[in-house]
Amino acid sequence: MLLLERPTTTVAADPILLHAFARRGRPLTVGDLLRAMSGTGAHISDVMDGLALALRDGLVTPSRPRRDEHGLLTGPQYYELTPAGWSIVEADRLAV
């Protein structure tokens, strides 16, 4: 098991993953998201579970598909916050 740093609770139930997108203000790849979550103590599996749940719940969506000259997808997949994801981030910021 690879630990990004100190142990913590699962990211899936915490808006910290959504804040990682909001802080950067741009679509992120999985690698970008893992770098953004380093220092939180989250396991890589926690981050991936959180991303899967955010996708399932419509808080994050795939974006920026790049295609080659033959129309095939190429390059990394990017993800971005949906309006529902931004609403959760905003509500969390106002709760503080």
Q: Is residue 54 part of a domain?
A: yes
Residue 14 confidence class, pLDDT cut points 50, 70, 90: low
Taking only the tens place, the pLDDT of each residue in 18-72 is: 999 999 989 999 999 999 999 888 899 999 999 999 999 999 999 978 888 998 9
Total structural domains within the chain: 1
CA 39: distance to chain centroid?
15
Distance (Å, whole) CA 80 – CA 84: 11
- pLDDT at residue number 29: 95
Task: Measure CA of the first residue to CA of the last residue in the chain; give whole Å.
Answer: 33
Q: Residue 51 is part of a domain; what is its CATH number?
A: 1.10.10.10
Q: Which domain covers residue 89, as residue numbers?
A: 11-95
- pLDDT at residue number 10: 42
Q: Is residue 39 part of a domain?
A: yes
In this structure, what are the phi and psi dihedrals at residue 10, rounded to the nearest 5 degrees?
A: -65, 145
Q: Are 10 and 46 within 8 A, CB to CB?
A: yes
Q: Is residue 2 part of a domain?
A: no
